[in-house]
Amino acid sequence: MTDPVRRTGIIDRLRRRFTGALRRQHRLRHFGRHPLQDRLGRRGTPQPLPAEIARVLLQAAHDDPAAALTRLKSHADGLSQREAAARLARQGPNEVEHDPPLPWWLHLWHCYQNPFNLLLTVLAGVSYLTKDVKATLVIGVMVLLSTGVRFVQEGRSNRAAERLKAMVSNTATVLRRDRHTAASRSAAAAAHPGAQAAAGVELAMRRLVPGDVVVLSAGDMIPADCRVLTARDLFVAQSAMTGESLPVEKFSENRGAGNASDASGGPLEQSNLVFMGTSVVSGSATALVLTTGTRTYFGTLAARVTATDSTPNAFQAGVNSVSWLLIRFAMVMVPIVLLINGLTKGNWPEAFLFTLSVAVGLTPEMLPMIVTTTLAKGAVLLSRKKVVVKRLDAIQNFGAMDVLCTDKTGTLTQDQVVLGHHIDAFGNTSEEVLGLAFLNSHYQTGLKNLLDRAVLAHIELPTELKLEQDWRKIDEIPFDFERRRMSVVVSERNERHQLICKGALEEVLACCTQVRAEPGQPTRESTLDATLFARVSQAARKLNEDGLRVVAVATKELPTSQATYSVADETGLTLVGYIAFLDPPKDSAAPALEKLAAHGVHVKVLTGDNELVTARVCRQVGLAVDRVLLGPQIDAMDDAALALAMQQHQVFAKLAPMQKERIVRSLRAQGHVVGYMGDGINDAPALRAADIGISVDSAVDIAKEAADIILLEKSLLVLDQGVVEGRNTFCNMLKYIRMTASSNFGNVLSVLVASAFLPFLPMLPLQLLVQNLMYDISQTAIPFDNVDAELVAQPLKWNPADIGRFMVFFGPVSSVFDIATFAVMWWVFSAQTLAQQGLFQSGWFVEGLLTQTLIVHMIRTPRLPFIESRAALPLLVATGCVVAAGLWLPMGPLADDFKLQALPAAYFLWLAGILAGYAVLTTVMKRFYLQRFGWQ
């Protein structure tokens, strides 16, 4: 039992004698996910290692820790700076062979290599073989335009991504014998008694070398292939390597088959080896680096395997479906055009060349460029806001998101938690509770979360004395998400052992049988009966209702004869009191969530925290809280009941990681596009399950690794900006697809009508190609166009059926005025003979180009163009230049080169009337379409 003087004086002696609390610096870790990790997780059988590397790993696994250190000429307290530098120069950096940046010429080839460019190249070859050099040049310019713009935009996007990666430091905690301070040596000794002379320093992962000793804790990514030297309840997620769905426990000693490991098997079966690319789920350890870089298991596979996953995601599938819609349309219409022209004109070679030109016009050759440019533009804009976009496709998914699930702590709330109260179980301020909480937070070697940092920061201690002079750590029972508590066992001046437990209220109370009595009571402890249980629960509940996060602190004295401890020792505890934290919401949380709601994104909060605290924070950020659904209630539901609950609840509390994942999957199964935002270890499963995973700059390694987008700034307003940017991207891609589809459909109808009744071709192949090239030039500015606010007000998804309907609806409108132009040229200007075909073709060339350019402005918006909605300056300039060039070409000195003929002045009066009629009819049809089908 603890005497009253000792009980109340802990914190005073701490302030008087001990060093300041050691505050672990926040570590921005490696967040990129190598493509092989996804593929490895799908493999049924791990791939074999090269014999030499397998031998090194197995030797270390079969050696005891001392022998393993000796074999690598290392020490329990790590390498010196000089030794490490020499090995780094000899071994090279610890880097896996990610796909290297493509050389410019190979990048250019990839930009060229798409079906549309290949088709155009074939058509250019055919034109060259038929001696049509001008057609060959025009088609070549079209290919260069499509390829060149895409090359430039992808280069911009890649450079922006590289700049963002440079903002993130990829580090590991390494023991160094000759880089230490008194405080850091104290911490290293407390966590790892065999390393009294070493200090844990943060080093870039690429600087690790064989022989280094690294410190691992929950949330860390394993930085290399390592041999475990010391371990406390170390569980590692290695499904990416072995396909095992559950975390695997690792030990400092090698264990046989009876312990889920085979000492005679391969490296992956060894219970004391951990591998690059896996992650620590819980517990802590020190480990000896055996192999680095390309000599790791992960690195050897990266070097040998180059193929990537070919399964298209939803975005790629949408683009592919639209592409094939346009290609199938071309494959049907082109043969019809060939047959009609060949049969009616009798000149099959000329009909063939004309049909080739029509095929070029029907090819959406600019689609890859438009998609790449719009996505790259979005990535560049977001990069200026310090948002890391790990996949370009994620930008469009951002726009399609209609449900955002978010964790509370660290995402909606600030990452600077403040310790507000330290009270006994009855609500009285207690220095003993604070002292015990400090010892627990200081000596635990797992992931020091925001609450631990707040406890350590709350106590200012003198630095001249050493913590280990009075206290000694005996053992530790690490935190896990099932128990939701952790314990350390310490001894003061080598006297009795004291277990100090800290954790979630319900889980700690479940282990308590006694409660520390109030001051002035004759006994030190009282039995925790139903009456006292209600009293101590009410004290905690009052703090919860005030919006404070409550952590219970309990203790237990144990005999000094016991050296190791486990979860079984967390029984018969004495509840000492509570520490309560102020965890205020981020200033940007409320306005960000309000903007998301205005843009049709429903926000749901998924947290492992107490329901009272969660409800208070949700109200502070403006989320309505009628009822809170708890994790145990979710476990009792089948999938159908859970799907119904998703529609009725907005806030979910006391959730385990797998429950968060189940909620996300349930929402996706109902057809929602789900985003998940989180920063903790317990968020990783949900981040992976979501359509788009979002994390923040303060997240642990595994959360960043699972996310698609990382917010480097603390403001959540960038969330809404990302949603809007994603929808802008989608809208501009949709503009091009709609314009191309409807224009192509109308042109083919016009060609079919003209070919059936005219004694000559309505337009020469070269003229058709030049017209298509000029139209393509006008469309290069579409990615930079403005988007109407109402178009981004709601989530957007691919709908190929709508595109087909749009094409059939608006395509014939242009054909009506093309046929009107035919009539004007035939009857008004008497262009009825072969001798007059140049005039006829020039008239349709100009009208067709101007109506195609006009349609860019007519259907880029559901509003009235130029008046209610104005295009961006780049698009206005591009289309204006094309119109000017189209009017000048038949009237200028190049007319003969393209077999065009100067048009009479009266033609332009008719042209103005045709364009005005086209604009009016398109506006009427647009209004009807908008009322009937909507614009999206």
φ/ψ (deg, to 5) at 34: -65, 140
Establish whether 407 is a catalytic residue: yes
Is the Cβ–Cβ distance between 686 and 409 less than 8 Å?
A: no
Residues 6+ apart with CB under 8 A from 234: 216, 228, 249, 250, 251, 280, 282, 283, 284, 285
Is the Cβ–Cβ distance between 138 and 769 less than 8 Å?
A: yes
**Integer Cα distance of 671 and 267 in angstroms:** 43
Q: Calculate Rg over the CA atoms of the chain.
A: 35
Cβ atoms within 10 Å, residue 827 = 10
Q: Please, what is the end-to-end C-alpha distance for the chain in angstroms? A: 72
DSSP designation for 862: S
Is the Cβ–Cβ distance between 647 and 663 less than 8 Å?
A: no
φ/ψ (deg, to 5) at 744: -60, -45
Residues 6+ apart with CB under 8 A from 512: 528, 554, 573, 574, 575
* Residue 549 parent element (H or E): strand 548-558
Cβ atoms within 10 Å, residue 36 = 22
CA angle 298, 304, 307 (to 5 degrees): 100
Amino acid letter, 392: L
Both tokens of 451, joined, read 């609450």
**Integer Cα distance of 222 and 278 in angstroms:** 6
Distances (CA, A) of 747 to 140, 315, 814: 22, 29, 8
φ/ψ (deg, to 5) at 386: 60, 50
**Integer Cα distance of 64 and 786 in angstroms:** 66
DSSP per-residue letters across 304-346: H---------HHHHHHHHHHHHHHHHHHHHHHHHHHHHHHHH-
User: What residues does 388 pair with on adjacent strands?
Assistant: 710
- Helix/strand/coil for 469: helix
Is the Cβ–Cβ distance between 138 and 770 less than 8 Å?
A: yes
Is the Cβ–Cβ distance between 607 and 588 less than 8 Å?
A: no
Cβ atoms within 10 Å, residue 652 = 25
* Residue 820 parent element (H or E): helix 800-823
Query: Which of the following is catalytic: 225, 393, 407, 818?
Result: 407
Is the Cβ–Cβ distance between 384 and 581 less than 8 Å?
A: no
**Integer Cα distance of 278 and 275 in angstroms:** 6
E strand residue ranges, 590-649: 602-606, 628-630
In which residue are the tokens 């009052």 written?
A: 542
DSSP designation for 77: T
- Helix/strand/coil for 1: coil
Is the Cβ–Cβ distance between 818 and 845 less than 8 Å?
A: no
E strand residue ranges, 417-484: 418-424, 471-477
User: What residues does 711 pair with on adjacent strands?
Assistant: 387, 696
3-state helix, strand, coil in the chain (%, to 5): 55, 15, 30
Is the Cβ–Cβ distance between 431 and 8 less than 8 Å?
A: yes
Hey, which residues are catalytic here? Answer: 407
